[in-house]
Structure 1
């Protein structure tokens, strides 16, 4: 009995040795790993790499992600201009703009202008003071006494002023009365004074902001909205 068991063990060990060395052929799905590696092509070029390198290689071979879809930006107006305002109106307009919070997109500009301040009834300048005095004597002979000779450095020097009026209508009425007295050389002319005007510029604003600014400007009936002028 012991001899039989010993013979069986001997046969089993011989079979395991033959199988391990590949003498018994190939069995699908149950191959010995060293033998299988030896049968691979270019076995000498195989190289084990880390998981991090493997992920990097896969990422390099993957197609790039699609570009993000651009978001639509609100349309802007290059530059809007409103004015000219007198100083008191400019302050009122500016206060109403405060709720829009335009910051640097809103700019206040000042411009000096000449405006008519009054109207003068006068006799044009004479060649000299002596000539002006002679013209004054002629006025006295006609019964005109309310006048004075202009001797300052203005363009009307050596002219004769016959009255200064706030409106042109009042000046024309005075002229008509003088003509009836026989004064033929008198004229009406505007007098100018420097004034500071204010206008506002709005740059890079949205169409909605532009509409709101123009709505506020509409409350100031003498003002207009326009594109910014390059002449300023």
Structure 2
């Protein structure tokens, strides 16, 4: 018991000593913010300002980073067409186009003929190779194997051919047989004789590339450029 009383006395003396030195502040309640401010060094140079003014000063000292400048991207042309070229001129034209390295953006097709040469039973274009392959799998599941995916640059690209016939009656008979097997999306379409003239199409090209193609076409006085007639 005596030890406890002795420890309490020591603690009380320590508190009084700290209070006397000012380590615990003043308990009188007189030490508010203005009083503390007066005790600061150079207190006469300090000034209270409003929050809006403080934000304005902060913005002036640390201005926001400048907005990024938009980059000028060359516009793209949906589709440009040139021709009609005879075969001899077409070869010369392609030689001059080669340095442009247009790749898939350049396509060549025959000018459609006027006489019907045959009839094709087909499923219309599916839009992509993957979609065409999916449709082909559906045909196999129905037990149909006599077909092929058309991957040339014709208007039927990524369609599926189910047979070519000399007469429309034969094509219609094939279509009826396919309908019975569960194929409902097949169609019959005429095929025309091929032309000896060629048309070139250029897709997704910049204005600069368009101008370079036009200069090449200008070397062939009978040819001109124009918007595509069957842009896909």
Q: Where on the TM-score scale, by shorter chain, does this alignment land: which range?
A: 0.3 to 0.5
Given the two structures, how large is their TM-score scaled by the length of structure 1?
A: 0.39
Q: Which of structures 1 and 2 has the bigger CA Rg?
A: 1
